[in-house]
Chain A
């Protein structure tokens, strides 16, 4: 082996070691959450931490799901998420087709508006949304939260779907049009099937953002039986000095699981959709 190649190999090993260290630091909180949720209470309280629970217990998971309002709030989250995503995706898809396939007066303004709305800090909207919804007696009601969530799911979905649509070559549709298909036929037979993955990815991402949302749910839902999972989870610690860390970590794991599974499924696609614009500029 020449010295030069040995040097290169040593350097590669060094970079790999740094990479592994970064991985350990970044992934540790997630590992610690899962590991804690399977430990016995003695191991959790101990000053000398147990890294791997060798005798895992499911007790904390049982405690977590039997806490008051867990199932109510899971149900609320599911209702809010599914209604918001269903309505938003249908409306956003139509708008995305208009923005990516047609040139029309006012198109630029629409793009500015859609990307501009995404920039609004959510906290800036809590006061007017709370007051308006209170006037129509929609505070403490899931409909109020659904309407509120659409303010950020809609623009986001339009933007992402537009990114996917741009990726589908127009020539495919033009060829079908030349062969005598109508615009509606092209839409149903060519655009919709090709957009399948993009629609799934965008829906899942909308699902995740809605499931994770906290501030609006916190402001708009006061009744414990009407809250969403994230608000339920945030109320776990409370003011007491003796937090049940095991149950809290089990509850956190349960809250994160659906998101993690969905996210891993579509991450590659959505990263592509989000960066399309950026990379092309």
Chain B
């Protein structure tokens, strides 16, 4: 009797423990499931369509008819044989390199400056940076257009007053180089706050006594920076640089709105603008999909470094 009761008790407890284990193991999956399902549907389904579209002739007619015509790899070969694609790719790579170097270089200098200035100036400067950070991109573009407009923009006035040349009625949107330089100024201005504030937070982690010890030993500031500060900042710099590369390579709003739809030509395309014009504006969705895939592949290669770093951080915790 006693032993039978014991067995039942034991069994039910074991069963309860079994169900308890299963339930507990299911908790994380049920928590994460909604996000995975939503992302799977709203991202997975369009990605499937992206691949499908890239092998079809799909224009406005096909969009209304809800059916494309399969053309194999014609879209890809058409894009890859298009000199505009290669010129755009080269221009975007150079553009990205210039933008990222300026952002990171100036950002590092400003972060170091933030350490040197007195507390009052530091508070003022960092609030200014936060203010810039909070500006919506579309708003910033409008302000840029106003400051650089050729009739009465303040940029022309200030440059003329500083005796840097005669800029009265100077049209900043006349050449591709000038257009893209303005876009670069806008992007770097907008990206600096995030970079400076993150690097400044990183600089706070550099041990004071280590720097002081090096200074006592007679190390010059430049050596202290290279041998102590830089190695400590390395992970942050790596992440910021790869993020900037990915963002600047795919940038759309700033070039598209600042140069303006009417002045966009094949001669000043950046990758995203090229994709928008060729795929969406001309309603050639099949070819646009092929361009998208090529662009996604390039960005995927660029972001491998970033994602690997993020995963390592995720595992460390």
Contacts and interface: CB of A to CB of B under 8 A. Distances in A.
Interface of A: 12, 15-16, 18-20, 22-23, 26-27, 29-30, 32-33, 36, 44-49, 91-92, 94-95, 97-102, 104, 107-108, 110-113, 115-117, 119-132, 134-135, 147-148, 150-151, 154-155, 158, 166, 183, 208, 211-212, 214-215, 219, 230, 233-234, 236-237, 239, 243, 245, 248-249, 251-252, 255-256, 259-260, 263-264, 267, 271, 274-275, 277-281
A252 B144 CA distance: 11
Interface stretch (B6-14, B76-84, B174-182, B289-297): B289-297
Interface string B94-132: 000000000000000010011011100110110011111
Given A19-B114, A127-B275, A264-B134, 18 more contacts: A18-B113, A22-B125, A26-B132, A29-B140, A32-B143, A91-B34, A108-B314, A110-B32, A119-B299, A120-B296, A123-B250, A151-B39, A155-B39, A256-B139, A271-B198, A278-B235, A278-B236, A280-B316
A127 B285 contact: yes
B205 interface: yes
16 contacts: A22-B125, A112-B307, A121-B250, A121-B272, A123-B271, A127-B50, A128-B47, A128-B50, A239-B262, A243-B149, A249-B142, A249-B143, A255-B139, A256-B136, A275-B198, A278-B239
B138 A233 contact: yes
A123 B295 contact: yes
B61 interface: no
A233 B292 CA distance: 27
Nearest to A123: B272
Contact of B189 (A26, A36, A104, A147): A26
Contacts of A113: 39
A83 to B, nearest CB: 13
A84 B197 CA distance: 28
A245 B289 CA distance: 38
B222 interface: no
Nearest to A44: B152
Contacts of A98: 27-29, 31-32
Contact of A104 (B25, B139, B289): B25
Interface in B267-316: 271-272, 275-276, 279-280, 285, 288-289, 292, 295-296, 299-300, 303, 306-307, 309-316
Contacts of B31: 94-95, 97-98, 102
A92 B35 contact: yes
Nearest to A274: B198
Interface stretch (B211-219, B223-231, B252-260): B252-260
A127 B138 contact: no
A94 to B, nearest CB: 4
Given A47-B152, A233-B138, A95 B34 contact: yes
Contacts of A130: 280, 285
Contacts of A91: 34-35, 38
Most chain A CB atoms below 10 A, which of B46, B201, B246: B46
A131 B285 contact: yes
4 tightest Cβ-Cβ pairs between the two chains A and B: A121-B250, A263-B134, A123-B272, A102-B28
B38 A30 contact: no
Contacts of A120: 296, 299
A223 to B, nearest CB: 17
B69 interface: no
Given A117-B43, A119-B246, A124-B296, A230 B118 contact: no
B134 A208 contact: yes
A16 to B, nearest CB: 5
Nearest to A159: B310
A128 B143 contact: no
A147 to B, nearest CB: 5
Nearest to A46: B152
Given A32-B143, A95-B32, A151-B43, A126 B280 contact: yes
A163 B260 CA distance: 39
Nearest to A94: B31
Given A95-B34, A102-B27, A108-B314, A129 B143 contact: no
Contact of B292 (A92, A124, A132, A259): A124
Contacts of B246: 119, 121
B3 to A, nearest CB: 32
Contacts of B39: 113, 117, 151, 154-155
A241 to B, nearest CB: 9
